[in-house]
Amino acid sequence: MSILKNIIIHIVDDDPGTLLILKSLLEGYKAKVITSSSSTEAIVEIKRTKPDVVILDLMMPGIDGLDMCRLLRQEPNLENLKIVIFSGKTYEHDQQRALELGADGYLTKPLDNEVFIKHLEDIIEDKIELTYWGVRGTLPVPGKESLKYGGNTCCVSIQFPKNNLFILDAGSGIKQLSNHLLSTQGPKLHAKILISHPHWDHINALPFFVPLYIPGNEFEILGASHGDITMRELISAQMDGVYFPITMKEFASRTYFRNLKEEEIEINNIKLKTMLLSHPGTCLGYRLEYKNRSICYITDNELFPENSRNYNLDYWEKLTAFLSSADILITDTTYTDEEYKQKSTWGHSSVSQVVKLAHQAGVKELHIIHHDPDQNDDDIDMKLKTAQKLLAEMNSKTKCIAPRERQSFKV
Ligand SMILES: [Zn+2]
Ligand SMILES: [Zn+2]
């Protein structure tokens, strides 16, 4: 059952054809639809009837969509109103401006029924959707031993409302995300790609992310520089013609790079915090916050046990504070405790340390990823069982999950 049922939607567009098509589409989902072809008349009507959602065209005679957005946001009685722009203008600038003026979402024409309804539902629900495209560490592991959790290396997408897509890491899983976006996304795609660090399992499928080669798309690739090697150089080095035949010059999308340090920035009302992790080289952990919800992505990361001479209480406390009360913690849980004994200082964590961290940080849901390539599905099942048992012994409120490829979570 769609959440659009019984929702009151007022559509304002000077094109009668669009009004007719949208009305019939939304009524098919049992929404109650009002239409106006004049924005001047619509604004009076919206203030009086207080719908749940308004869908606005941008370019209209009289009051245009941006102006209308601004005026509606000044109305004290309409604070719960969702405003969605539906426009033929696909420029990033217009989208940014609409969101700044208070729009909750920006959908572009031409109308693709399925994409439109999915995005509209997401905007009304105001949820963050997290999807896994690869959960393995170090090396892809295809074959019958990895059918349950999938064999691709790290890639996670986080779709925030207002059409804000974040992609975390570009392991081999990004190929699946690429295919998914090509089959579902509208004409222009904008996304931020956050790279934890440039070890192969986190970047080496970026050249297979087809939306990078499509004109009109726009990406920002963010991550830590390595000394004087910038993010741009870290990515271009693996596409220099020797290791990969296509160079970055072939990217037809507008692609920008940003070097991050430990810092806090805001992107379209989403707060992004970073922290340097315990791993060879420079590796960044991310915390994304949106309207009291938070997702942390911490990989790769080694948590030294308290009895290790490398144990660092300051780091432990800093990381616990960074993760504090997160809704979801996605983190490197490469080894069982037994395996870790042989692989201390390799830069990855064991189950018991991850569980302790998540519990102490008051994390609501712990997602264990970056599994060792020598582990099969049964081994991952066992790591999950161990983690759940340890949490139960601690009377912890933290829930533990081992996500699978293509599994989605809404927060
Ligand atoms: Zn890794
Ligand atoms: Zn690594």
Q: What is the pLDDT of residue 186?
A: 65
Range(s) of the domain holding residue 94: 8-125
Instruction: Using the mean position of ligand 1's atoms as its centre, give its distance from the Cα of residue 150 in Å.
Output: 16
Same domain membership, residue 272 and residue 160: yes
The radius of gyration computed from the CA coordinates of the chain, to the nearest angstrom, equals 23
Residue 201, amino acid: D
Q: Quick one: which ligand is closest to 283's CA?
A: 2
Instruction: Using the mean position of ligand 1's atoms as its centre, give its distance from the Cα of residue 52 in Å.
Output: 45
In a domain, 2, yes or no: no
* Cis bond before residue 300 (omega within 30° of 0): yes
40 pLDDT above the threshold of 80: yes
Task: Give the separation between CA 267 and CA 252, rounded to whole angstroms.
Answer: 23
**Last residue of a domain, which of 97, 125, 153?**
125
Q: What is the pLDDT of residue 187?
A: 67
Average pLDDT over residues 363-376: 98
Instruction: Using the mean position of ligand 2's atoms as its centre, give its distance from the Cα of residue 148 in Å.
Output: 24
Same domain membership, residue 174 and residue 118: no
Instruction: Using the mean position of ligand 1's atoms as its centre, give its distance from the Cα of residue 261 in Å.
Output: 19
Q: In what order do the strands lie in the sheet with 270-276?
A: 264-267, 270-276, 284-290, 293-298, 328-332, 365-369, 399-401
Burial status of residue 49 (CB atoms within 10 A of its CB: 0-12, 13-18, 19 or more): exposed
Same domain membership, residue 30 and residue 173: no
Task: Give the separation between CA 245 and CA 234, rounded to whole angstroms.
Answer: 16
Same domain membership, residue 183 and residue 64: no
User: Can you read off the two tokens belonging to residue 327?
Assistant: 């809704």
Same domain membership, residue 209 and residue 71: no
Of residues 175 and 183, more confidence is placed in: 175
Same domain membership, residue 144 and residue 77: no
Same domain membership, residue 314 and residue 197: yes
Same domain membership, residue 317 and residue 406: yes
CATH number at residue 19: 3.40.50.2300
In a domain, 116, yes or no: yes
In a domain, 340, yes or no: yes
Q: What is the pLDDT of residue 269?
A: 82
Same domain membership, residue 349 and residue 230: yes
**Last residue of a domain, which of 125, 149, 172?**
125
Q: What is the pLDDT of residue 100?
A: 86
Average pLDDT over residues 390-396: 98
In a domain, 325, yes or no: yes
119 pLDDT above the threshold of 90: no
Instruction: Using the mean position of ligand 1's atoms as its centre, give its distance from the Cα of residue 63 in Å.
Output: 52
Task: Give the separation between CA 176 and CA 192, rounded to whole angstroms.
Answer: 17
In a domain, 231, yes or no: yes
**Last residue of a domain, which of 125, 148, 171?**
125
Q: What is the 3-state secondary structure (H, E, C) of the chain?
A: CCCCCCCEEEEECCCHHHHHHHHHHHHCCCCEEEEECCHHHHHHHHHHHCCCEEEECCCCCCCCHHHHHHHHHCCHHHCCCEEEEEECCCCHHHHHHHHHCCCCEEEECCCCHHHHHHHHHHHHHCCCEEEEEECECCCCCCCHHHCCCCCCECEEEEEECCCEEEEECCCCCHHHHHHHHHHHCCCCCEEEEECCCCCHHHHCCHHHCHHHHCCCCEEEEEEECECCECHHHHHHHCCCCCCCCCCHHHCCCEEEEEEECCCEEEECCEEEEEEECCCCCCCEEEEEEECCEEEEEECCCCCCCCCCCCCCHHHHHHHHHHHCCCCEEEEECCECHHHHHHCCCCCCCEHHHHHHHHHHCCCCEEEEECECCCCCHHHHHHHHHHHHHHHHHCCCCCEEECCCCCCEEEC
Task: Give the separation between CA 373 and CA 381, rounded to whole angstroms.
Answer: 14
Instruction: Using the mean position of ligand 2's atoms as its centre, give its distance from the Cα of residue 159 in Å.
Output: 25
Q: Per-residue b/e over 236-250, b at no fewer than 16 CB within 10 Å?
A: eebbeeeeeeeebee
Same domain membership, residue 137 and residue 22: no
In a domain, 1, yes or no: no
User: Can you read off the two tokens belonging to residue 219?
Assistant: 């990406």
Half-sphere exposure of 319 (CA within 13 A, CB side): 26
In a domain, 174, yes or no: yes
CATH number at residue 206: 3.60.15.10
Q: Quick one: which ligand is closest to 138's CA?
A: 1
Q: What is the pLDDT of residue 91?
A: 82
Convert the pLDDT of each residue in 122-166 to its tens digit. Answer: 889 888 999 999 999 999 999 999 999 999 999 999 999 877 899
Q: Which residues contact 348 (CB under 8 A, 6 or more apart)?
A: 137, 279, 300, 301, 302, 332, 334, 335, 370, 372
Average pLDDT, the chain: 95
From its phi and psi, is residue 227 left (phi > 0), alpha (psi between -120 and 50) or beta? left
Q: Domain tally for the chain? A: 2
Task: Give the separation between CA 323 and CA 100, rounded to whole angstroms.
Answer: 29
Same domain membership, residue 221 and residue 83: no
Instruction: Using the mean position of ligand 1's atoms as its centre, give its distance from the Cα of residue 239 in Å.
Output: 20
Convert the pLDDT of each residue in 273-320 to its tens digit. Answer: 999 999 999 999 999 999 899 999 999 999 999 999 999 999 999 999
Tell me which residue of 390, 398, 379 sits closest to 149, measured CA to CA: 379
Instruction: Using the mean position of ligand 2's atoms as its centre, give its distance from the Cα of residue 335 in Å.
Output: 14
Q: Quick one: which ligand is closest to 332's CA?
A: 1
Same domain membership, residue 216 and residue 83: no
Instruction: Using the mean position of ligand 2's atoms as its centre, give its distance from the Cα of residue 199 in Å.
Output: 5
Instruction: Using the mean position of ligand 2's atoms as its centre, give its distance from the Cα of residue 141 in Å.
Output: 16
Q: Quick one: which ligand is closest to 171's CA?
A: 1
In a domain, 3, yes or no: no
Instruction: Using the mean position of ligand 2's atoms as its centre, give its distance from the Cα of residue 209 in Å.
Output: 21
